[in-house]
Amino acid sequence: VDPALKLYNEYNSGSMGAIVFQEMRESRSLAYMAFTEWINPSYLDDNYLFAAIIATQNDKMAQAIDAFDEIINNMPESEAAFKLAKEAVLTNLRTSRTIKDEVLWKYIANKDLGVTEDRNKAIFEKVQDMTFADLKAAQEQWIKDRKYTYCILGDLKDLDQDYLRKLGPVQIVSQKEMFGY
């Protein structure tokens, strides 16, 4: 999964030219900030995580969530963005160095995951040959049509609560519960 994960993250949210930013902020004007991240587990028996974050206006919440869900489940195809993402991953791997105490921490992290070889080397070799179809297949296998938990921060009186209930059960928490003050 690592090569697809790296490429997915770069394609979707690696830069201001990435798909999520372009679709949510530039094309649709629905977000101040938007990104997704597919996250590696820390231990062998942990799950992968997927996070998607939007900062939008309260009155655009429903439209932004619907648009974001559409982008997440039906990943837009851009050959130009794919080539840029692929080159960015490869360039990053070419120029990154594991030095000083990072050597130990990377060794421990890899050991916790049962990895016995340099993951970056394997990612570098596999990403070079990946196509958009490979990326799309990983997205469809691991991300598309999953159930998600939404966390909405905002003034309750300004949020469309009927819309939120359509997404699933709603649990309202206080500012004190959320932030401790």
Nearest C-alpha neighbor of 35 from the set 47, 52, 22? 52
- Which residues of the chain fall short of a pLDDT of 70? none
Other Cβ atoms less than 10 A from the Cβ of 76: the count is 14
Q: Where are the domains of the chain?
A: 2-179
Per-residue pLDDT reduced to its tens digit, 87-106: 999 999 999 999 999 999 99
Please tell me the predicted confidence (pLDDT) of residue 50: 97
CA-angle at 101, arms to 96 and 107, nearest 5°? 80
Cβ pair 35, 155 in contact under 8 A: no
Give the whole-angstrom CA distance, residue 57 versus residue 154: 9
Q: Where are the alpha helices (DSSP H) in the chain?
A: 2-13, 19-21, 61-73, 79-95, 102-112, 119-129, 132-142, 161-167, 175-179
Please tell me the predicted confidence (pLDDT) of residue 88: 97
Please tell me the predicted confidence (pLDDT) of residue 81: 96
pTM to 2 decimal places: 0.91
Please tell me the predicted confidence (pLDDT) of residue 23: 95
Q: Which CATH superfamily is domain 2-179 in?
A: Metalloenzyme, LuxS/M16 peptidase-like (3.30.830.10)
* β pairing state of 49-55 and 33-39: antiparallel
52: Cβ contacts below 8 Å, ≥ 6 apart = 34, 35, 36, 37, 68, 72, 148
